[in-house]
């Protein structure tokens, strides 16, 4: 994945302690692991940096929130296993070294909000019930802040903490974000302003992007652990190439076990509710359709499985709850993880539900 970034002026000041609740870009980018691993319930620059590095290594910690909770620990354990290291869910000096030495780009970069980011339309207040969504033209984001947070795989709280006093609804506003995606227009503009150099042409940017983008082998097999809430992705040589946290089924609507096939992949899908699903709180006795959108019932991406009766892998409107709440039987991931997975799946990939 290409990562173009704007150089930041990094200070040599001491990093914030674990209890810091308002981290800065400098604190995160210069953070080093102390004797104690980052806490699960407090924002920590070390945790932020580690989460960004895991995300860029295709070992997803889910939503980057600055707290080293269950999803980050699962990702770290998968990273350790892939590297053949003994350490697991606990962030040790050995694992910290492996993370930081293989990827030395800054974890936090500056980003200029675009007109597209604030264009909308935004849906606020957001309907809470499925039946209230069926007549809407789209189920978009509630606010520009929510859209920007999801664009950079972050929680809204962390985005706000990194940008105190900033407005997220104004184009051209400079903000700090997690360095997890490519944004060539902003990277180009920022570099030109800081260096006074001649901006690169679109062709030069395309060439650079094509040359530097790492290629991920097609994913031919998924191993989904229902109890642990994890999705492991393997290539044809049985090497794990990606990892994701997930919510898998519930006691009321458990996901079937067995081996299945991927039958289709759909970005920005419509959602069709069938009364046979018998979802709690839905009173309609007739089928209805909900238009696409990141805050829809299946988020912004859908992967159909050969299970039947509407089972699949999909995104969610609530990334903070992935791996922490129950689903209606499907495999629920963050929108960005579901899309990344779908875009790298081989045709008729095998899906094993354990």
Domain end call among 192, 214, 236: 214
Q: Are residues 52 and 130 in the same domain?
A: yes
Q: Are residues 164 and 223 in the same domain?
A: no
Which pLDDT band holds residue 282 (cuts at 50, 70, 90)?
Answer: confident
Q: Are residues 275 and 166 in the same domain?
A: no
Nearest to 91 by CA among 105, 108, 102, 77: 77
CA distance 330 to 333: 10
Nearest to 54 by CA among 98, 4, 3, 20: 98
Q: Are residues 253 and 338 in the same domain?
A: yes
Q: Are residues 337 and 293 in the same domain?
A: yes
pLDDT at 42: 92
Q: Are residues 187 and 172 in the same domain?
A: yes
The number of distinct structural domains making up the chain is 2
The span from the first CA to the last CA of the chain, in angstroms, equals 30
Beta pairing partners, 231? 224, 244
Q: Is the per-residue pLDDT at 279 higher than 70?
A: yes
Q: What is the mean pLDDT of the chain?
A: 84
Domain, as residue range, for 306 = 219-353
pLDDT at 313: 96
More confident residue, 201 or 80: 80
CATH number at residue 342: 2.40.440.10
Domain end call among 181, 214, 247: 214
Q: Are residues 34 and 59 in the same domain?
A: yes
Q: Are residues 228 and 175 in the same domain?
A: no
- pLDDT, tens digit (0-9, with 9 covering 90-100), for 20-31: 446 899 999 999
Task: Classify strands 240-245 and 230-234 as parallel, antiparallel or unpaired.
Answer: antiparallel
User: Measured at the alpha carbon of residue 52, what is the angle toward residues 177 and 320, in degrees to the nearest 5?
Assistant: 80
The beta-carbon contacts of 129-133 under 8 Å, at least 24 apart in sequence, are 129/281, 129/282, 130/273, 130/279, 130/281, 130/282, 130/288, 130/290, 130/297, 131/282, 131/283, 131/284, 131/288, 133/290, 133/291, 133/296, 133/297
Q: Are residues 299 and 208 in the same domain?
A: no
Cite the active site residues: 314, 330
Q: Are residues 270 and 312 in the same domain?
A: yes
The model carries a pTM of: 0.85
Q: Are residues 141 and 284 in the same domain?
A: no
Domain end call among 214, 241, 271: 214
CA distance 298 to 301: 7
- pLDDT, tens digit (0-9, with 9 covering 90-100), for 232-260: 999 999 999 999 999 997 666 677 899 99
DSSP annotation of 329 reads: S
Q: In terms of DSSP H, where are the helices of 112-229?
A: 115-119, 144-151, 156-162, 184-195, 202-212
Q: Are residues 131 and 192 in the same domain?
A: yes
Are the beta carbons of 188 and 182 closer than 8 angstroms?
no
More confident residue, 249 or 226: 226
């Amino acid at each position: 994945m290409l990562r173009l970034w704007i150089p930041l002026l990094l200070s040599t000041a001491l990093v914030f302690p674990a209890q810091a609740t308002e981290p800065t870009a400098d604190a995160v980018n210069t953070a080093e692991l102390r004797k104690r691993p980052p806490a699960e319930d407090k924002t920590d620059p070390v945790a932020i940096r580690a989460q960004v590095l895991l995300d860029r290594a295709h070992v997803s910690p889910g939503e980057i929130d600055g707290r080293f909770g269950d999803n980050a620990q699962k990702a770290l354990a998968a990273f350790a296993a892939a590297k053949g290291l003994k350490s697991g869910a606990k962030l040790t000096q050995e694992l910290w070294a492996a993370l930081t030495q293989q990827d030395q780009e800054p974890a936090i970069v500056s980003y200029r909000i675009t007109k597209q980011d604030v264009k909308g339309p935004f849906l606020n207040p957001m309907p809470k019930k499925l039946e209230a969504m069926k007549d809407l033209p789209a189920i978009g984001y509630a606010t520009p802040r929510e859209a920007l947070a999801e664009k950079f795989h972050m929680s809204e709280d962390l985005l706000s903490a990194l940008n105190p006093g900033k407005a997220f609804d104004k184009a051209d506003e400079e903000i700090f974000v997690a360095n997890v995606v490519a944004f060539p227009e902003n990277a180009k503009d920022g570099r030109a302003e800081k260096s006074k150099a001649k901006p690169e042409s679109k062709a030069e940017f395309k060439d650079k992007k094509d040359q530097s983008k790492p290629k991920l082998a097609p994913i031919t097999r998924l191993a989904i652990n229902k109890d642990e809430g994890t999705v492991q992705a393997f290539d044809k040589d049985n090497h794990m190439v990606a990892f994701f946290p997930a919510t898998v089924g519930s006691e009321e609507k458990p996901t079937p076990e067995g081996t299945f096939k991927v039958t289709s992949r759909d970005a920005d899908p419509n959602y069709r509710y069938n009364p046979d699903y018998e979802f709690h709180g839905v009173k309609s006795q007739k089928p209805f359709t909900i238009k696409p959108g990141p805050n829809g019932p299946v988020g912004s991406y859908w992967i159909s499985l050969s299970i039947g009766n509407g089972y699949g892998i999909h995104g969610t409107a609530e990334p903070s709850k992935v791996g922490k709440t129950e689903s209606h039987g499907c495999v629920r991931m963050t929108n960005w993880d579901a899309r990344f997975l779908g875009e790298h799946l081989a045709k008729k990939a095998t899906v094993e539900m354990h």
